[in-house]
Amino acid sequence: MFQHDESPDPSQPYVSGTEDNRIDNSIYPGPPTSDPPSDTTEDPLNNTYTSTITDNNTKMQESAMPAGPRSRRPSKGRASAGRGLVYLAVVLGLLVVIGGSVIAIFGGFDTLPLDSNKVSVIYVQGVMVTGNIPGGLGYATSEEISKSIQDAADNGDVKAIVLRINSPGGSPAAAQEIVTEIKKAQEKKPVVVSMGDVAASAAYYISAPTDRIIANPDTLTGSIGVIWVFQNNSAFYEEEGIEFYVAKSGEFKDMGANWRGLSDNEKQYSEEVVLEVFQRFVDEVARGRNMSSGEVKDLADGRVYTGSRAMELGLVDETGNLYYAIDVAAELGGIEGEPTVIYENRPSWSRILFGSEGNTVAGAEVFLSYLIDSPFGRIIA
């Protein structure tokens, strides 16, 4: 049997953590000395406290836990509530991001209903034609512009309309469709024109009846007149040995066909048509600018004028930029202070990101083939 070299002194108290421990404290460290045993009996031999077997087992299990402050685990209900708040915050954040992106793509933040003192800006940019072709391709369609004017006129929060024009002209018919909607809108609110680089011919046609025309000093405008263009490719067909036989019901039925030139009667008739269209143009300018037909014709030899010169001639009211035109429109509409500006048909990211495959110049030419390849030539104002 093994015996210790030194026997513990029974007169000394039993101290936990010394060599005299009967139990290895590296495995079972003793309970903190500050916590007195809950159930003890006094040993009269060495004046120390010894725990009962049950209490010893309990304290040994407690002492096996890591030292340091003890933390309570959160309840399952509290943890679930915390996770729910995190999920809710993430969802709300995503909704804000998605909503902002949709607004920016499909119209911009200027479309938000901030107040009821609004000025609507409508763009007329490109060659004016009828038909419904994708916007932003160098053409201004009467359908899109007319619809934008209607929307602005019917919006009770909009107090005035500004037409921002950058167009060399186009079809007289397209101009007439737009003028019709301008006059309807004027029954409800003022319409002001802001001319950009160029607002000539048919673009001036739609400007004349508005309440105020504002151009930049070097804007090109005017060009009051009409042309009818015919193409004669007969020399090419003769060189290529191509012949045509035409059966027609009347003398003028193939007038404008490119396989031959115009006859004398056709030339005379074409002049009559041009003068008829021109007179309607002159009458519209005379009514809109409070001028006589003779005064307009004196200026209507087809030439363009700078904005400054046009103002001297009475074709333009003032010189200024787009923002000056917006201020003028706001004043005419009875808006006090800074107006809220909305843009009805400004090119947006939605047209670029979600446009159809036809949103190309080649696609636009397909839409316009009825005009470009017309067998009757093209009447242009």
Cβ 317 vs Cβ 214: under 8 Å = yes
**Residue 253 bears catalytic tag:** yes
Tokens of 148: 């934008």
CA distances from 160 to 7, 278, 333, 342 (A): 110, 30, 5, 11
Sign of CA pseudo-dihedral 280, 281, 286, 292: negative
**Residue 194 bears catalytic tag:** no
Q: Report angle CA 232, 235, 238 to the nearest 5 degrees.
A: 125
Q: Residue 120's closest CA among 191, 177, 181?
A: 191
Cβ 128 vs Cβ 174: under 8 Å = yes
DSSP 94: H
Tokens of 59: 């304290």
- Spatial separation of the C-alpha atoms in residues 268 and 247, rounded to whole Å: 23
Pick the catalytic residue: 142, 148, 167, 201?
A: 201
Q: Tell me the pairing of strands 220-222 and 191-200.
A: parallel
346 contact partners, CB below 8 Å, separation of at least 6: 108, 121, 123
Cβ 174 vs Cβ 146: under 8 Å = no
User: 361-365 long-range CB contacts below 8 Å, 24 or more apart?
Assistant: 361/137, 361/138, 363/134, 363/137, 364/133, 364/134, 364/137, 364/138, 364/139
Pick the catalytic residue: 183, 184, 248, 253?
A: 253
- The set of catalytic residues is 201, 253
